[in-house]
Amino acid sequence: MKGIYAAMVTAFQEDGSLDEKGIREIVRHNIDHCGVKGLFVGGTMGERYKMSTAAMKELYHIVADETAGKVDLVANISALAFEEVLELGACAKEEGYSRVAMIAPIFHGYNSEEIVDYYIYIADHISIPLMIYVIPSFSKVDFTESMLVRLLKHPNIVGLKFTHNDYYLLDRVRVKCPDAILFTGFDDILYHALLMGTDGAIGGTFNLTGRLAKKLYDAVQDKDYKTALKYQRNINDVEDMLNATGLFPTLKAALQIMGVQCGELKKPNALITEAQREQGRKIVEYLERIGG
């Protein structure tokens, strides 16, 4: 597992159900236009916690059917109830996904031993490799070095999706777990993460900037660091524009302008505003201008 993976957005209909046609368009856009190595399905950018378990399983199936083995697939199996986590893990395995990822249990404020024991329990009860999805800005769970190293010694816990800015922690994990799969989840520091020995990135903005991210990744492999840094700054220009009017809605607005019928964000998010659509147009113009 190496390279650039898009944390794909999810298309919904007005009633909140999945838009199969839109999902298939998103998949093809990421493969054909962005050139990603893989897709991360039902993640934070994909609005996982707004979907039922049944909808998640349907999403896994649609994406697997549309990709038809063209790219690697990783499923987010995070859920509030452990029974649902196990059900999603079994479904991902059946649909041909290579790995799954799970956010730490949220809301009730579990202690570190409970969190470690929970990951071990899940890893013991699914038949597909598990990645730890580190995202403290959403989960409010701060993993320590000892927690991560201990978990990565489990034979069925194979790596991290590290959406966190503590790169000292990531470096210590890399040193102590040299065989672990380490993917950054922050698109804006892909260049720096690769230099520190990560294997690639799973990013939401790669739905737009996947071409640039792939060029960046290839430049680092070729040790052309000046070129790699240029592409990182291109990606960060897009991030600045997205964040100026709201990351999630502006990204979907830009995709729609590119001809990808990804729909609106699911409730309780508001509808995309005209200001966000205008910003989306500016982003698409910028990408066209620089070949992104």
Confirm whether 161 is a catalytic residue. yes
Q: Residue 290 and residue 272: Cα distance in Å, rounded?
A: 26
DSSP helix/strand/coil, 192:
helix
Return the half-sphere exposure (C-beta side, CA atoms, 13 A cut-off) of residue 32.
Answer: 9
What is the structure's pLDDT at 138?
86
What is the structure's pLDDT at 292?
86
267, part of any domain = no
What is the structure's pLDDT at 280?
98
292, part of any domain = no
114, part of any domain = yes
**Residue in 57, 60, 97, 161 annotated catalytic:** 161
Quote the tokens at residue 100: 């799954």
pTM greater than the 0.85 cutoff: yes
**Residue in 133, 191, 217, 231 annotated catalytic:** 133
Compute how many other C-beta atoms are within 10 angstroms of the C-beta atom of residue 41: 31
Please say whether the beta carbons of 208 and 236 come within 8 A.
no
Please say whether the beta carbons of 9 and 3 come within 8 A.
no
What is the structure's pLDDT at 42?
98
233, part of any domain = no
Cα–chain center distance at 126: 21
34, part of any domain = yes
What's the domain count of the chain? 1
Residues of the chain scoring pLDDT < 50: none
258, part of any domain = no
Q: Residue 20 and residue 127: Cα distance in Å, rounded?
A: 28
What is the structure's pLDDT at 287?
98
273, part of any domain = no
Residue 187 is part of a domain; what is its CATH number?
Answer: 3.20.20.70
State the residue range of the domain holding 173. Answer: 3-224
212, part of any domain = yes
Please say whether the beta carbons of 35 and 29 come within 8 A.
no
Backbone φ/ψ region at 264: left (φ over 0), alpha (ψ -120 to 50), beta? beta
